[in-house]
Amino acid sequence: MAVKLDKKDILKALETITVPGEGGNMVETGAVRNIQVFGDEVVVDVQIGNPTLQARKKTEVSILKAIHDLVYPKAKITVNVKVDAPAQPQKKVPEIKGKPIPGIQNIIAVASGKGGVGKSTVTANLAVTLAKMGFRVGLLDADIYGPSMPIMFDVVDEKPRAVEVDGKSKMKPVENHGVKLLSIGFFTQPDQAVIWRGPMASKALNQMIFDADWGELDFLMVDLPPGTGDIHLSIMQALPVTGAVVVSTPQQIALADARKGVAMFRQEAISVPVLGILENMAYFTPEELPDHKYYIFGQHGARNLAADQDIPFLGEIPLVQGIREAADVGRPAALQEGTPSEAAFLEATRNMVSELVQRNEYLPPTEAIKITTMAGCSAVKNKRV
């Protein structure tokens, strides 16, 4: 004769069992989720918070013993123990972000994965273009091992002066072409190699950042060295960088390194918005053939990289002899009005500022309105060519 078990008797038996590590009986605490009875067969579903194998096994044995001892010794029992351990809090990745610097509204890092792509030349021309547009601009030459800004701004023989600010002695940046400038090149001889380890280079950078009287700036442009190393991390840690611009030539070798530069800014600990990619030395146009473009280093490589990475393409800077000559004599090509070089840098700068505005980053309201209403302001749409 088949035995029919009573669910109430089983619940009463389970009340004698304490939940491992929690206290309170199994029924009162809600650990028993379901009981099914089929004649002399019993299925018990239990949920506990202790994830150890020992706790699971103890729970199962206790249920079997309780039902056999208190209800029916020959009952066929199936116990399903589910563990509902509390979710472990995710470890927060420490964010590498400097504290805001009073008086400086936007800090733009200009980077390149590879050396020799014209990053410093581009930075200098973006800075003077911003100054021409009416912004207050500073430029930090963070390329410790290869400072070139003193030459590009024709201030090789200048030295920062010491001034007193709030009772503290600070460096007064050298100024030319409407841009305030600090560089390690001001403190070394032209033929002197800077042979410093990372910590010493980082200390020098911190002095130029925090021991300087930058005053009120709308933009501080930071010319980073090539690659992704100590200096880059030091800058990200010391400065609250608003956004980054990555410079590359169309050449595949340069683009491979530019991709790494984008990845660096996108790392969770750094998380700096990439405002766009700018293609330098995009094409060559001879003076005698103004309608011809020769793509010496490849065609549209940086534009396609921007599309692949889903970031704005800021524009193309042509390979023009005058840009190199202007940098060598300390008068950036963007100052030469009416030239293709000036037009190219103006478009790139407008696109960079437009991207900042669209991202709701802070800009002086009147200047933001002025820039966004300029013709040709919108960043080039990502489109693979």
> Element (H or E) spanning 46, and its range?
strand 41-48
120 annotated as a binding-site residue: yes
| Contacts for 106 with CB less than 8 Å, ≥ 6 apart | 218, 219, 220, 242, 243, 356, 361, 362, 363
- Best CA proximity match to 324, nearest among 333, 315, 335, 334: 333
Residue 382: how many other CB atoms lie within 10 Å: 18
167 annotated as a binding-site residue: no
Structure tokens at 225: 């060295």
338 annotated as a binding-site residue: no
- Best CA proximity match to 225, nearest among 256, 191, 203, 201: 201
113 annotated as a binding-site residue: yes
At position 207, the amino acid (one-letter code) is Q
- Best CA proximity match to 356, nearest among 310, 304, 314, 303: 314
> Distance of CA 137 to CAs 90, 115, 153, 202, 368, Å?
41, 25, 14, 23, 15
261 annotated as a binding-site residue: no
Give strand pairing partners of 45: 34, 80
Cα gap 342→318, rounded to integer Å: 11
Residue 235: how many other CB atoms lie within 10 Å: 25
Cα gap 290→373, rounded to integer Å: 30
At position 125, the amino acid (one-letter code) is N
| Contacts for 210 with CB less than 8 Å, ≥ 6 apart | 101, 238
> Element (H or E) spanning 182, and its range?
strand 179-183
Q: Which residues are annotated as a binding site for ATP?
A: 113-120
Q: Which residues are annotated as a binding site?
A: 113-120
